[in-house]
Structure 1
Amino acid sequence: MKTHFLTVIVLFLTTQLYAQTGRQVSGVVNNAEGTALPGATIKLLTAKDSLVVAADDQGRYHFLSVPVNQFSLLVTSIGYQQAKYSYRLPPGRLAVELSPVILKSDTTTLRDVTVSSITAVRMKEDTIEYNVAAYKVRKGAVIEDALKKMPGLEVSRDGSISVQGKQVSKVQLNGKDYMAGDVKSLTRNLPAELVQNVQVIDDHGDQARLTGIKTSDAQKVMNINIRKDKNHGYFALATAGGGGDMIPQSRGGRNNGRYAAYTNIFNFEGQRQITLSGDLNNTNTSLFDFSESGRKGPPDLFGDKQNGITTVRSLGFNYRDDWGKQLTVYGSYSVAENGVNTISLTIRDNLSGQSASTQTSNSNRNDRNLNHRAHFNIEFRPDTLNYFKLMPTFSYGNMRTNESVASRLQASNDSGALMSDYTRSLQARSSSINFGISALYNHRFRRRGRNMNILLNGCTVTSDRYENPVYNFMAGTANAPANQIINTSGRTDSAGVSLSYLEPVGKKSYFEFNYNFQNTSITADRLTDTLSATGEVNRASDLSNDYKFDFMINRFGVNYRLIEKKYNVTLGFAAQPALLQGSSSAMASTRKTSLNFSPVLRYVYNFSDLQAIAVNFSGESSSPSYYQLQPVTDFSNANYPVQGNPTLLPEYNNTLQLRYNKFGDGTGKTFFTTLSFTQTNHKIVVNTVTYPGNYIPDPKLAGTILTNYRNTSGFYNVSGNYVLSGAWAKRKYTWLLNGNISYNNNIAYLTDVLDSKGMNQAIRKNIAKILILAQGARFRADILDVIDADVSANYLISHSGNAIPDADLNKNFQTITLGTSGKLYFLKNWTLGYTYNKTIYKYFQGAANPNLFDTYIEFRFLKQNMAAIRFSVYDLFNENTGFSSAQTAHNIIQTNVKRLGRYFLLSFTFRLQKFAGKVPQEAPGMDNGG
């Protein structure tokens, strides 16, 4: 407050003294780390007079009318050495933004003065905010390097980010979606020195942000805010590299060439932001993610531990601007063409009370994917009471697949009898087009707290798929048609509306009324033809079908909300009727209705900006998928046909979550934990039906394991995670412990057909209690411009206990990973980087224990280190292999996938950047410095 008062008084006196015409001179005062110094004193000295101002809370200062072209600045601040700068301005009266004034620490003064440390973390209800200035990184580093140092954030090698055991699903820049939310497209490209803070938000959608009414499950969203003194300028980076495999020919190496080219351009002019990104490589890096689960991102030229071998071509454009004071527009377009070769070995243990079996499959698959995606947003605020947002989207995807598979299915008992042996070749192609649009309107009434909100949405998706699986049966029953031609075309139309109304009943309390309607209609035609050895085409009517279903939900809710300074609480009730109806050429129409009720509870208590606890309970319905409903059999996989069940009911999930966070103010001490419990009504589970090899009623099913679906009760999941960390010596040294636990009461029905006519069947309900436990520890040393290194140890166990009384079905998989990674800085401009991991797999069939070692050496040169040359070696020991397991109540699957092996790469990087707090006004040749 004193600072603001002093600034106002001095500016007033300055204006009176210099009433004559002059120019405005502004700037910012920072310390050597780039942090603003509020309260610093700036004295402007001329030949005849002097002026004095104080820096504001952002470290900024302003002289409103400077009549001379030549002057000096004398800058002082407690705890810092005094600095004097001289300036010579070009003639004219244009406002000038001076280069930042940098003050060095005064160690003598600091002995007698207590300097408060930077607040590294703050919390506010659903948001955790990290101050980037508290996490020092080397000049030129990207924001991902700072994220790795922030407690509670886990950044994996592939660039995906997890918080409190949940993956970050979307990224924003200054509060607006960036590249349709692609996380790695921003975190691996944006320079850390441009960032003010990073926010991790539990996002419930646009409606919730405007009204506070949170009715849907929250996503983890990361918002990155640009520093105000860096919001004008540009950043451009280009990298190109070439190399080759280093696998000896004697070991099957082909010595393929490796290449990587990458470019990224940021241009900020206040609210206008333009980004252009492009990528071309065959080193398993992907610039954009077109899947929902998250894929890979640039510009790590080493690639990552991605399965398969990928070639990528991609391009993206992002735009944001204010078209006037009332209109904001932002959006992005991205396109990528990826080629992926995946060679894998899969071992599948099929659980059964009578006829357990094991399938071993070797697969070689090539995919060619083409994806286009465009997202646009228009926000209009005609006044302070009304807000409009329009969100059109478009995407197009095309995939072509060639795959060859060799498969053997054997009984798991002592006989190990061979049940099936075949090879399969598959040619497939598919395409889909998605058009969507949403419209949001919010109105704030003049009475404080009263608010009305409406969201409309609509979407149309059309898809086509062609498949041609060809089988060569060498042993066992030749059940599936040897040569099928399957054409599937579908259309999904969805439309919905969400309404909410907020009525104040006091200064701090409200009633919330909300309603949601959503209708999804799916039409799909599946036509299956068989091709005989003579080339004759026949329609397989029992494998063909046209099917249509509609899923309609109505959700009514009423809540009471109380907002206090320290806490806020929401208590309410929701009712959700649902209708699922379908019709098919293969069977009579069906109609299923359900009605679910659930309480609504949300409680948040903020002990301080650094400590909070939250409790949340909610319920939500979900529809079965088309493939779970379609009433005909899909025989594209000979051993595992799939048949839908059109009489399914939708699921309803009740979720209770408890979250506690505590951060130490400036100390780096952190503890947070999340506990979650989910119980599901009408859970859709698998029913596997195992047929004998001599099954008569339907020979195509002989020797197969048919998958169909049914609703059941008793499913629940309990999960939890924690992070405990600490730091000392101004965060030069940090330690971290983290753990995750998940306990899943999974259910499946296992049906064995015991005779050739199907008259004798044994149906068992298998409850699989699946426990996944992970524990990790890490120590990090981070001395700026000297070393940034860590050592870590991680342990993961996955255990499945089944209700079926067979000890052989209880499986344990364990993974132990010991590793270290780091960067060593020497001779000022040299960097040695390395990553080493030793992975030990226990109880995986045929698993090796690989040593994975990547290293590089880099030299930076030219002014401000604009250029760099790097020599990299990836997977030095050539042991990169991928092993994984997945356990359910009806099978256990182990997978071993070939990954990109040892190669080297020589790359060159060049970057340019210039940023300021305002549009630079200096004329060429201006003397900026003292």
Structure 2
Amino acid sequence: MKYIYLILALTGLSFLQASAQTARPLSGTVIDSTKLTLPGSSVKYKDELGDSTVTSTDVNGKFTFPAVKGNKITLTISSIGYQGIIKHYTIPADGKAVALDPIVLKSSVRQLGAVTIVGVNPVVFKEDTVQYSVSAYKVRENAPIEDVIKKIPGIDVDKDGNVTAQGKQVTKVRVNGKDFFGGDVQSATKNLPADVIESVQIVDDYGDQANLTGIKTGEPNKILNFTIRKDKNYGYFGQATAGDGRDLLPKEADADVKNENRYVGLLNIFKFKGDQQIALLGSINNTNVNTFSYGTPTTGGGGGGFGGGGGGRGNALRGGNNGSTTNANGITNAHSIGLNFRDQWGKALSVYGSYSFTDNTTFTNSTVIQKNNSLDASTSNQQSQTTSNPTNHRFNFNLEWKPDTLNYLKVTPTFTYAGSDVSSVDNVISQRTNQSGQPFTNLAYTSTSTTNSVSPNYGLTGFYNRRFKNSKRNLNIGFSASTGYTYQFDNPIYNYTAGAGTAPANQVTYTDSKNHSYGVNGSYLEPIGKVSFLELNYALNYSFTSSDKEADTAYALDPTRYHRYDLLSNRYQYTFTTNRFGLNYRIIEKKYNVTLGIGGQPAKLDGVNLFTNVRTSISTFNVIPAASFNYMFSRSQALRFNYNGASNQPTFDQLQPVIDFTNALYPVQGNPNLKPEFSNNLSLRYNAFSFQTGNIFFINANYTQTDHKIVQNVVFYPARFTAATLAANPDLKKYQNTNLVQYLNADGYYTYGANVLYSKPWKERRYTLIFGSGISYTNNVGYTQTVDSLNNTSPLAKNIAKTLTVTPQLRFRVNINDVIDAEAFSRLSLNKIDNTLLTAGTQNTNIRSLDLGVNGKNYVWKDWTFSYDYTKTLNYGYDSKLNVKNPNIFNAYVERRFLKDYRGTLRLAMYDIFNENTGFSVTNTGSIVTQTNVNRLGRYALLTFTYRLQKFAGKAPSNPERGFRGGDRPGGGPPGGGMGGPPPGGGPM
């Protein structure tokens, strides 16, 4: 009996002790091995009393259990992409709050078939960077990184592979912080395999100087940076594709779209050996795809990184165009090859560069309608057939020298060469409205023209940064130099069928132009407190441009010798010099930074016509304030504001005073008295991401106001002058029936816009709903004048062209790995143009289009893929003469993987099955509204076979004889990892 009493007594004491325990808060932080906090981690609590509960870490990786009673507790922590861990704790029974030491999770790598998935947080916000984890947007093995980019909210990829991020065009691409193929965007997005990419970063890039010092001025460029998984830094990847097909067009098809064979041949080879990375891309096809683009020359970069896989333009896996109908105008035969190289030479010198070459032939058939907002209303209809053969070479090489943590030097030589042979046939009819409001034909002609040109360009840029020891002082100096030449031959021949002839019937012109530019800049950074800095900066830029143009109007009569026609010939040159100096003040705190600055820029433009010896000199001075504010609410929420001013010099064509009659209907005459433009730019961006729900929200707004905007003044000459007027002014004869385009400076130009996007995923991102919209408004300025039959010129008539564009869209994605990857979408485009100057025969423009469609891939029987891409477009508001239709664009393919490790892929594809692919567009300059209908590649079938080989290792193999030589740094990757690029530590951070 006494034992029973003893047991009861002990039980009572235990109960009293438990009851006496006081609930207290328990908190902690979950981090990874790099001390980065892990938001959204799951933390499960359990104690010896049997109590248990589960919570998640907040945006700062912290968790809290507000009322725990146990003394012996167990925490189970897990996070996507990290190894789970169980931690046991014994905490004091004193009732005080408990703060645990940080809990460290290790990264987890899991093999799923042939795909390595490294899990990290799906989105991370930094000051100028939004980083997306590739593993959060699953695609099938061997898919190009473009397939991932298409799934990322806030990034759009059109059917030609052009990338837009947060409403702004992406201008450059990097791999591990180094330019890939000179920064060529599509060479990377179409060819880098998603399997080897760890993250996709959208970066607001202010240049090398800003990256080193942290002081950012000017308007940033949007660039893509891909970081490579460390387990893919050693190995090789190679693939080849061959394809054959045929147009499937109706028998009545025009000669320019006759049934031809379609072919594609692609070869991609990539080798990775730690810091050494080599990529070779080659392509031949007549399916309107290009491996490289040369629209915007890039400077100061090239190479760096590596490639693999395939996609879209030049995509071996996609048979040439990613399973979609290309939006490229015309029909192109494309030939290209390129080499990209990157290596580390010793501890201090990093080198990277690239060479690329293209040789294309494009046939274009277009209908163009131009309406002039004028006092004497006119409309021109033009049918054109053009064959062009552009040839491009691009070479750049970068040397980055970093002997220690204090010094950094980068030197980049570049060379580009652009050649072009163009021939075209045009049929033009110009109509005007008489005093009774009836249209009549005042000019009609047929023309054939030939143009040949070559443009070599040489450049050199350099940048040196010095960080002073034991201080935050910083000095940097940059320089640039370039020289370029253009040699061009033009021979337009006109056959006038109505109205008096304007341009000479047979004109030959030779143009010899050159441009030399030099620049130097520097800045000095001085700390004035623990978190504040002053920066003094200066920049000098000088450019010299000259053009010798000689016209021969009697070539058809006597081709044995040259006859210079002085009225159409010209020798003009000008120099443009700017000096910019400024002072910036910056505060850098953990959660925010502020920059305030003021600068001044005197500019001088000197020009001289060497035929007449008439000189012009324009001097301006602009005060350039600068301001930026960045606030990081958390790792998932950020606000950014930026203001800057910038000047823009006139182009040579806008300055040279001699009339260019290459286009008989729209001759052009420059204005040597033009002032440089000056624009004020403001931008605002807010980003938010929820680690708990995965919701993403972006909003971007911008405003630009431009002083001395260079605008057109269109002078309309009558169909005929009186005999007395022509006798007194014989030169007027060549102006009859023309719309002479001149240039003026004008105030009143401004534009603003905004982009908003909301993305909501659920069911572990299997389903995603995305809403986005863009809106832009432009207040453009243009002028018109009319010359009457007596040679009297009317006063300037000002037209304000108000262009409003709204583009809402709704997308729904389904992504179930190895089952389906599909998207349904709707896009509405509203383009409304109102002109304040309207006369008889002119009207405002209101063009709308609605796209409804679905695209995707279904994976069946493990090795089969069925792909489909359908879009129905409804167009409204175009001119009836353009014969604009409402096309159904439908593409589909079936694909079979086979051989060991899926090395082989066989695909049968059909493009534009309904044969309705045509391009339509509208533009507005303030004086002229242009609507265009242009041909595109029509229906065809293509059968392709792709074979690939690959081998990767996470570190240098221990046996050099098995494929790799020794001497590589274990683990691979660029020194410092991450984005690479210029060394850290140079700035105030």
Q: Tell me the SS of whatever aligns to 1:857.
A: strand
Aligned to 1:552: 577
* Aligned with residue 411 of structure 2, among 369, 390, 397: 390
Q: Tell me the SS of whatever aligns to 2:252.
A: helix
Give the Cα–Cα distance (whole angstroms) in 1 for the partners of residues 31 and 781 of structure 2.
Answer: 66
Give the Cα–Cα distance (whole angstroms) in 1 for the partners of residues 291 and 940 of structure 2.
Answer: 21
1:598 CA drift (Å): 2.6
Aligned to 1:362: 383
Q: Letter of the 2:896 partner, please give it.
A: F
| Superposed counterparts of 1:427-826, under 5 Å | 427-531=450-554, 534-535=557-558, 538-584=563-609, 585-665=611-691, 667-695=693-721, 696=726, 697=729, 698-753=732-787, 755-806=788-839, 808-826=842-860
Would the aligned equivalents of 1:586 and 1:631 in 2 still touch at CA under 8 Å? no
Q: Tell me the SS of whatever aligns to 1:538.
A: coil
| Superposed counterparts of 1:401-412, under 5 Å | 401-412=422-433
Give the Cα–Cα distance (whole angstroms) in 2 for the partners of residues 291 and 805 of structure 1.
Answer: 36
Would the aligned equivalents of 1:289 and 1:296 in 2 still touch at CA under 8 Å? no
Q: Could you say if the C-alpha distance between residues 557 and 632 of structure 1 is closer, same or farther in structure 2, counting changes exceeding 3 Å?
A: same
Would the aligned equivalents of 1:307 and 1:899 in 2 still touch at CA under 8 Å? yes
1:412 CA drift (Å): 4.5
1:215 CA drift (Å): 1.9
Q: Letter of the 1:559 partner, please give it.
A: N
1:292 CA drift (Å): 1.6
Give the Cα–Cα distance (whole angstroms) in 2 for the partners of residues 489 and 925 of structure 1.
Answer: 57
Give the Cα–Cα distance (whole angstroms) in 2 for the partners of residues 653 and 630 of structure 1.
Answer: 23
Q: Tell me the SS of whatever aligns to 2:146.
A: helix
Give the Cα–Cα distance (whole angstroms) in 2 for the partners of residues 216 and 117 of structure 1.
Answer: 36
Q: Could you say if the C-alpha distance between residues 850 and 103 of structure 1 is closer, same or farther in structure 2, counting changes exceeding 3 Å?
A: closer
Give the Cα–Cα distance (whole angstroms) in 2 for the partners of residues 321 and 880 of structure 1.
Answer: 44
Would the aligned equivalents of 1:822 and 1:835 in 2 still touch at CA under 8 Å? yes
1:763 CA drift (Å): 2.0
1:297 CA drift (Å): 3.0
Partner deviation per Cα, 1:49-86 (whole Å, 9 max, x = no partner): xxxxxx996648xxxxxxxxxxxxxxxxxxxxxxxxxx
Give the Cα–Cα distance (whole angstroms) in 2 for the partners of residues 871 and 36 of structure 1.
Answer: 41
Would the aligned equivalents of 1:721 and 1:738 in 2 still touch at CA under 8 Å? yes
| Superposed counterparts of 1:251-270, under 5 Å | 251-252=253-254, 254-270=258-274
1:913 CA drift (Å): 1.2
Q: Could you say if the C-alpha distance between residues 56 and 489 of structure 1 is closer, same or farther in structure 2, counting changes exceeding 3 Å?
A: farther
1:254 CA drift (Å): 2.5
Aligned to 2:397: 376
Q: Could you say if the C-alpha distance between residues 499 and 293 of structure 1 is closer, same or farther in structure 2, counting changes exceeding 3 Å?
A: closer
1:667 CA drift (Å): 2.9
Would the aligned equivalents of 1:720 and 1:742 in 2 still touch at CA under 8 Å? yes
Partner deviation per Cα, 1:131-185 (whole Å, 9 max, x = no partner): 1111111111111111111111111111111011111100001110000011111
Partner deviation per Cα, 1:780-826 (whole Å, 9 max, x = no partner): 10100000011101111111111114484211111111111000000
Q: Tell me the SS of whatever aligns to 2:439.
A: coil
Would the aligned equivalents of 1:247 and 1:878 in 2 still touch at CA under 8 Å? yes
1:448 CA drift (Å): 2.5
Would the aligned equivalents of 1:480 and 1:700 in 2 still touch at CA under 8 Å? yes
| TM score, norm. by length of structure 1 | 0.87
Give the Cα–Cα distance (whole angstroms) in 1 for the partners of residues 952 and 464 of structure 2.
Answer: 36
Give the Cα–Cα distance (whole angstroms) in 1 for the partners of residues 83 and 903 of structure 2.
Answer: 28
| Superposed counterparts of 1:7-156, under 5 Å | 35=81, 37=83, 59=107, 102=111, 118-156=120-158
Give the Cα–Cα distance (whole angstroms) in 2 for the partners of residues 650 and 581 of structure 1.
Answer: 12
Give the Cα–Cα distance (whole angstroms) in 2 for the partners of residues 737 and 4 of structure 1.
Answer: 36
Would the aligned equivalents of 2:854 and 2:871 in 1 still touch at CA under 8 Å? yes
1:922 CA drift (Å): 6.0
Partner deviation per Cα, 1:377-411 (whole Å, 9 max, x = no partner): 00001111000100000011110011000110011
Alignment partner of 1:864 is 2:901: yes
Higher mean alpha-carbon deviation, 207-216 vs 834-843, is at 207-216
Q: Letter of the 1:326 partner, please give it.
A: A
Give the Cα–Cα distance (whole angstroms) in 1 for the partners of residues 81 and 930 of structure 2.
Answer: 52
Would the aligned equivalents of 1:38 and 1:56 in 2 still touch at CA under 8 Å? no
Give the Cα–Cα distance (whole angstroms) in 2 for the partners of residues 534 and 500 of structure 1.
Answer: 62
Give the Cα–Cα distance (whole angstroms) in 2 for the partners of residues 512 and 339 of structure 1.
Answer: 51
Aligned to 2:421: 400
Q: Which runs of 5+ in 1 are unaligned?
A: 6-32, 42-54, 61-99, 105-115
Give the Cα–Cα distance (whole angstroms) in 2 for the partners of residues 225 and 627 of structure 1.
Answer: 43
Give the Cα–Cα distance (whole angstroms) in 2 for the partners of residues 666 and 168 of structure 1.
Answer: 30
Alignment partner of 1:912 is 2:934: no
Would the aligned equivalents of 1:311 and 1:338 in 2 still touch at CA under 8 Å? yes
1:709 CA drift (Å): 0.6
Q: Could you say if the C-alpha distance between residues 895 and 805 of structure 1 is closer, same or farther in structure 2, counting changes exceeding 3 Å?
A: closer
Would the aligned equivalents of 1:586 and 1:632 in 2 still touch at CA under 8 Å? no
Aligned to 2:232: 230
Partner deviation per Cα, 1:615-642 (whole Å, 9 max, x = no partner): 1111011100000000100000111110
Partner deviation per Cα, 1:272-301 (whole Å, 9 max, x = no partner): 110000000000000000112999832142
Q: Could you say if the C-alpha distance between residues 4 and 909 of structure 1 is closer, same or farther in structure 2, counting changes exceeding 3 Å?
A: closer
1:531 CA drift (Å): 2.3
Aligned to 1:78: none
Aligned to 1:286: 290
Alignment partner of 1:334 is 2:334: no
Partner deviation per Cα, 1:712-732 (whole Å, 9 max, x = no partner): 111111111111111000000
Q: Could you say if the C-alpha distance between residues 907 and 601 of structure 1 is closer, same or farther in structure 2, counting changes exceeding 3 Å?
A: same
Aligned to 1:69: none
Q: Tell me the SS of whatever aligns to 2:277.
A: strand
Q: Tell me the SS of whatever aligns to 1:747.
A: strand
Give the Cα–Cα distance (whole angstroms) in 1 for the partners of residues 884 and 515 of structure 2.
Answer: 43
* Aligned with residue 171 of structure 2, among 164, 169, 178: 169
1:586 CA drift (Å): 3.2
Q: Could you say if the C-alpha distance between residues 456 and 719 of structure 1 is closer, same or farther in structure 2, counting changes exceeding 3 Å?
A: same
Q: Letter of the 1:560 partner, please give it.
A: Y
Give the Cα–Cα distance (whole angstroms) in 2 for the partners of residues 180 and 169 of structure 1.
Answer: 11
Give the Cα–Cα distance (whole angstroms) in 2 for the partners of residues 4 and 261 of structure 1.
Answer: 46
What is the aligned length?
835
1:37 CA drift (Å): 3.6
| Superposed counterparts of 1:408-427, under 5 Å | 408-412=429-433, 414-427=437-450
Would the aligned equivalents of 2:384 and 2:427 in 1 still touch at CA under 8 Å? yes
* Aligned with residue 874 of structure 1, among 911, 933, 950: 911
1:535 CA drift (Å): 2.9
Partner deviation per Cα, 1:183-233 (whole Å, 9 max, x = no partner): 111111111110111111100111111111222221001110100111111
Partner deviation per Cα, 1:714-760 (whole Å, 9 max, x = no partner): 1111111111111000000001111111111100111111x223224
Would the aligned equivalents of 2:720 and 2:737 in 1 still touch at CA under 8 Å? yes
1:479 CA drift (Å): 1.6
